[in-house]
Amino acid sequence: MLLSKACIYAIRASLYIAAMHEQQRPFVPIREVSDKLNLSFHFLTKIFQQLTSAGLMKSYKGPNGGIAFTKKPAEIKLIEIVAAVDGLGLFHECVLGLPGCGKNKPCPLHDKWAYTREALQIMFSSTSLDELTSKGKRMNLRLSDEISMEDLISP
């Protein structure tokens, strides 16, 4: 699996929150996200704690509280979420799990892997949340096996 479950959930949840952000609802309660996306509330809470401690989100307790991004969704790239949850190893490490990739003489797999690894990195670092949410309303970005971005146009 490319991304851990926690990381996948983090991205899906981020897309939901980005969509709410566009509707002038910066702080979204975690419970709402977990309900809508059919994710475990407590598990999601822990995931969001990773995102907040990475500086990507801020939280507010109490009624009308919730979590919100610290930047506009247009400025948040998917790779920041991946980095906060799974780390950046995928984009730097050896596909065969050996230490010190490409440090000395590169191996014969290296060129191919380095190319593919960079394609991965480019994909995650060139895609912003708002790009997906705005396109998602037209293009059927699903956030769970039940709901699409389209369903979120009016909450």
User: What's the CA dihedral at 5, 10, 16, 18 to 10 degrees?
Assistant: -150
Type of residue at 118: E
Q: Which does 145 bind (CB under 5 to 8 A by kind): its own copies, ligand SF4, DNA, none?
A: its own copies
Closest CA to 60 of 17, 14, 27, 32: 27
Q: Which does 65 bind (CB under 5 to 8 A by kind): DNA, its own copies, ligand SF4, none?
A: DNA
- Contacts with DNA in 63-102 (CB under 7 A)? 63-67
Hey, CA dihedral for 9, 2, 114, 50, is it positive or negative?
positive
Q: Which does 102 bind (CB under 5 to 8 A by kind): its own copies, ligand SF4, DNA, none?
A: ligand SF4
Interface with ligand SF4 by CB under 6 A: which residues?
Answer: 94-96, 98, 101-102, 106-107, 109-110, 113, 142
